[in-house]
Chain A
Amino acid sequence: MTGFAVERTATAIRVGARPPRPERTALVEARGALLFWDVLDRHAHPAAEIFDARAADWLWEVYGPDTAAAILGDAESVATEWESPVLDAARDLAHLHWAGAWWPGSHAAAVPALPGGLLRAETAWRTAALDHLLDDEDAVERALAGLDLGDLPVLGTDPALAESVATLQERLTDLAETFGVELHANVRTRPEDWALAAGGEAPDLAVASGSDPIDWALVPHGLLDAAGEATWQFGQRSGAWVITVTAPAAPGAEPVPLIGLFDTVEIPLHLDRGAGAFTGEAPAPPDFAMRLRGQVRVYAPRFAVPGDSPDEDREAIIAFARDRLSAPDATLTERAAA
């Protein structure tokens, strides 16, 4: 049984509340409404914001006809025990969207990266199960267009998983034909692991150092270790004052350039695969010793502008992800990662 308060504003009917933070939010954009699940406060049924009741004619599929009628009527609270394959598909799709954005891959916390190709494939399949109620009329075509069957993992060691992946591939091939999308099937060659000589070694003589948690929202998914902290060191190298920043890389991170920001000093960071970290060094301005009370922030240029650091529920989210790997309702993608 899931219960919600219902509130009516000038622009929307609110069923329950939005999850408090983006990294907790599993979202489905349905026609006329957003559906939200909070990954840290899990319920079978989603909270919702209905902004077009006429378009949200599918609401009964998610809450059941009586609850849907009460929501669209004048009930101030509702409860439901409705079960349906559409509700299951919506919950799965929301979870896959969340995993694509926030799955906290981490060496430090032993959370493996999810296989990206399989994640996109499973997302496309779940999208297709909801084609009749999504806001984007071309959602299925869009999801299929981003797929590459060559990216599906080869899971020779686990016959049951391998069979599930093969079934998924078959279904997607048929789906692509029904929606007129040509699927790619390129075997992608991954760049070999190489170590970049990017500096980042500790200064000869460090006079100050510290570390700060990484703000997930400032970097694209899958680059930095979700449980990691960025560390900085201020010191001398060959007689010059330098600041060095290191941030641990996520499992399977791509070598995208990042920036460490300490006070107003920008330190370009590059992936050092040997060290498993993004590292870099920059000359420290003359008065830098006066500014050491700041904190280091790591961000991706042309992705986000560093603002105030929010409080994140990172430990709880990492614990949630770890549980998912062995959850009875784990997605195929999660099972393949475990």
Chain B
Amino acid sequence: MVHGLAASAAVPRGMLVADAWSQLGDAVAPLSNASGRPLARTVKLLLDPLVLRPAQNPRFSGGVVAIEHVDALRQAILDAGPALAATAAWFQLVKRARRRAGITEGHPQDLYFQRCFELAHLHGDPAPLADAADIAAAAVGDVHAERGEVSVDRLRRFLTDPARTAELSGLLHDAWSHRPEAPQPGPNPGLVAFLDDCATAPDPRLWKALADTAVGTAEAAGLDSPGVAHDYGLTSRERPAAPELGERASKRGLPKPFDRSIMERLFAAFTTWFQRESMNDIPSLVTGEIKRSAAPWQLAEEPSRVAMALGRDASAGLGAEAAESGTDANARLLNRWRRESYVHRVLRLPDATAISVEVRGTRGAYLRRLWVRLHGRELRGEATGADEVWDLLDGALRSVVMDQRDRLKRSLEREEDRT
């Protein structure tokens, strides 16, 4: 299938992976899509971190692979063939066990792919095992029990326990009364330079320097001035105020990020992400969240704050009638936004201006989405590398835009239902 290898000195990595993958045959079909390619999550959760490991094997990283490493990459996948085939077989059994247990929460690929890879290494191919179904059922039970540990119920009990409320309120009060005075930011050429290159050639040294010199913290200084955080869409208040501890939360009608209670902040992360095993226990989650709420951008880690400052600058002009772009990242986000109105016409969706979809509020929705994602990464202890920043900035806009599109489609259906 791979043609013209000799013609160039490098080959698209995806093509090599597809080629090697197709040699693994039907055994890996449960991990493949209908075109016979590995599923996006097969690459993200299995091939990259567990087979190719580009961090350890830089020769396998990037979009193209040098011609001299082509055979090695192919061989790495073929060598993993039996393990991947067993992983696929375990995934089928695990899906069946999940169905039998009546479990519907979470994404099966996110939840079980790596667990199935472990099972493949522990037990090999499940086919000859008499107790394979039991092992699969136990694995499913295990995954969901781990997640049950840090449950919304336990969070609510902890936060509303009368024996603790005074202490937690005291912590919250202390955190908010001792907020450090943020230095006034000067113009920072580092943010502009990073935004200019982050989509094409992100500079890890610059990314580290921005965090090391607390540029994100400095850029948060204006947030306490009247109207600033409000205009970014992060609060409905004139200026941010200390959150409540909170007693309840529901997925619908969550307030804007800075207006969320401690309960709501943690609740939102619990229901959105499914890797609770990487989260702390409840008491440290709650005290951590209390401290975080009083921190610059209401985020705990400097890289997250830098990312908010980058997102703020990259999203300038989003949703406005006409906007001139500044940095390259800003131009790319504005282009995505312009492309979207073209796509609306091609898909014959309602004109957003003809119905009550908040187009002008797009930048606020964008910064809220970005904040929520950064907050979730902090809770899961995920570090953000320089080369992930653009995907984060762009992904938040894509997610906002797709939600708007869904609302437009639903408005069409509602129109039919109303009559």
A residues lining the B interface (CB < 8 Å): 11, 22-23, 25, 27, 29, 34, 51-52, 54, 57-61, 64-66, 68-69, 85-86, 89, 97, 100-102, 125, 128-132, 135-138, 141-142, 146, 171, 177-180, 182, 216-217, 220-221, 254-257, 300-305
Known: A142-B406, A256-B419. Is A180-B332 also a contact (CB below 8 A)?
A: no
Q: A60-B15, A69-B8, A178-B30 are in contact. List 9 more A-B contacts (CB 8 A).
A: A29-B343, A69-B7, A129-B34, A129-B35, A131-B40, A132-B37, A137-B40, A177-B108, A302-B356
A97–B108 Cα gap in the complex (Å)? 27
Chain B hits for A60, CB < 8 A: 12, 14-15
The 3 closest A-B pairs by CB, nearest first: A129-B34, A101-B348, A302-B355
B residues lining the A interface (CB < 8 Å): 2-4, 7-8, 11-15, 18, 30, 33-40, 43, 63, 95, 98-99, 104, 106-109, 199-200, 331-332, 335, 339, 343, 345-348, 350-351, 353-356, 395, 398, 402, 406, 409, 411-412, 415-416, 419
Contact of A86 among B4, B37, B40, B346 (CB under 8 A): B37
Residues B199 and A179 in contact, CB atoms below 8 Å apart? no
Residues B415 and A300 in contact, CB atoms below 8 Å apart? yes
Residues A54 and B199 in contact, CB atoms below 8 Å apart? yes
Known: A27-B346, A220-B348. Is A57-B63 also a contact (CB below 8 A)?
A: yes
Residues A256 and B108 in contact, CB atoms below 8 Å apart? no
In this complex, the member of B8, B36, B37, B406 whose beta carbon has the largest number of chain A beta carbons within 10 angstroms is: B37
Chain B hits for A254, CB < 8 A: 416, 419
Residues B95 and A303 in contact, CB atoms below 8 Å apart? no
Contact of A303 among B4, B8, B99, B412 (CB under 8 A): B412
Nearest chain A CB to B253 CB, angstrom units: 21
Name A87's closest neighbour in chain B (CB-CB): B35
Name A59's closest neighbour in chain B (CB-CB): B12
A180–B350 Cα gap in the complex (Å)? 30
Chain B hits for A302, CB < 8 A: 350, 354-356, 411, 415
Nearest chain B CB to A331 CB, angstrom units: 14
Residues A142 and B402 in contact, CB atoms below 8 Å apart? yes
Residues B63 and A54 in contact, CB atoms below 8 Å apart? yes
Known: A65-B3, A85-B35, A304-B354. Is A177-B12 also a contact (CB below 8 A)?
A: no
A68–B4 Cα gap in the complex (Å)? 12
Chain A hits for B354, CB < 8 A: 301-305
A to B CB contacts below 8 Å, 5 in the list: A58-B14, A61-B14, A216-B348, A220-B415, A301-B354
Chain A hits for B108, CB < 8 A: 177-180
Nearest chain B CB to A321 CB, angstrom units: 15
Nearest chain A CB to B397 CB, angstrom units: 11
Nearest chain A CB to B204 CB, angstrom units: 16
Contact of A256 among B36, B99, B395, B416 (CB under 8 A): B416
In this complex, the member of B13, B339, B395 whose beta carbon has the largest number of chain A beta carbons within 10 angstroms is: B339
Contact of A132 among B33, B107, B353, B402 (CB under 8 A): B33
Chain B hits for A52, CB < 8 A: 199, 332
Chain B hits for A23, CB < 8 A: 348
A60–B2 Cα gap in the complex (Å)? 10
Chain A hits for B346, CB < 8 A: 22, 25, 27, 101
Chain B hits for A221, CB < 8 A: 348
